[in-house]
């Protein structure tokens, strides 16, 4: 289901991802504020797409922090790196991953962020295992994704999104995380935070 992203038309997708009316775009500053980022933190924006959140994270963690822009699309990653250079942002590291792994080193990040990305995981167990390994002890996984509720969600969401909020919570907790909270109430999306257990 992700093949059409591999050689993506970045301008086309920027128009889709970064547009008024898309909740993760309209409320992006509130989402970032709710994450409580601090200078020096190491963040992975997994499923970074066109880099909307990558750039916001880069400013939040400052020059002493790092932001890994992770995506299966080499085109997206190249465009994010170009965007970072254009914005004179030097703390962004592009990573081309695959459908089973983030390709991040063990213990390399304090926060993994997924915006409308979890439902694209073709192998959720593998990806959650990889995220767990990439997080430092006590690290946080934040997931923003579509609500999948009959009678509320659009036909597109019902047909496109594999699992609803409760199923996602169960899957993530089963992969070695504890549920923390829902730090911001969204309308068409939910926003969940989990902490890595173990170690």
48 or 11, greater pLDDT: 48
150 or 104, greater pLDDT: 104
pLDDT mean across residues, the chain: 90
Q: How confident is the model at residue 37 (pLDDT cuts 50, 70, 90)?
A: very high
Domain range holding 132? 3-196
CA distances from 64 to 43, 61, 125, 172, 182 (A): 12, 7, 32, 30, 28
Q: 183: Cβ–Cβ under 8 A, 6 or more apart, which residues?
A: 34, 35, 191, 193
CATH of the domain at 24: 3.40.50.150
What per-residue confidence (pLDDT) applies to 7?
61
What per-residue confidence (pLDDT) applies to 135?
98
CB 199 within 8 A of CB 177: no
Is it the case that residue 5 has pLDDT exceeding 60? Answer: no
Number of domains in the chain: 1
What per-residue confidence (pLDDT) applies to 100?
96
């Amino acid at each position: 289901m992700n093949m059409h992203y591999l050689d993506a038309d970045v301008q086309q997708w920027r128009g889709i991802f970064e547009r008024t009316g898309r909740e993760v775009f309209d409320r992006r500053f509130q989402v970032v504020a709710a994450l409580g980022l601090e200078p020096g933190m190491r963040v992975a924006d997994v499923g970074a797409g066109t880099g909307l959140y990558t750039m916001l994270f880069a400013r939040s963690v400052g020059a002493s922090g790092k932001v890994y822009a992770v995506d299966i699309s080499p085109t997206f990653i190249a465009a994010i790196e170009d965007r970072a250079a254009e914005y004179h942002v030097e703390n962004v590291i592009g990573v081309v991953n695959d459908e089973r792994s983030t390709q991040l080193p063990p213990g390399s990040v304090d926060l993994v962020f997924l915006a409308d990305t979890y439902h694209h995981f073709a192998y959720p167990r593998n990806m959650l295992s990889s995220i767990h390994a990439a997080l430092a002890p006590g690290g946080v996984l934040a997931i923003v994704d579509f609500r999948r509720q009959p009678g509320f969600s659009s036909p597109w969401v019902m047909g496109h999104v594999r699992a609803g909020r409760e199923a996602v919570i169960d899957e993530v907790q089963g992969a070695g995380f504890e549920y923390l909270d829902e730090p911001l109430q969204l309308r068409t999306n939910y926003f969940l935070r989990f902490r890595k257990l173990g170690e």
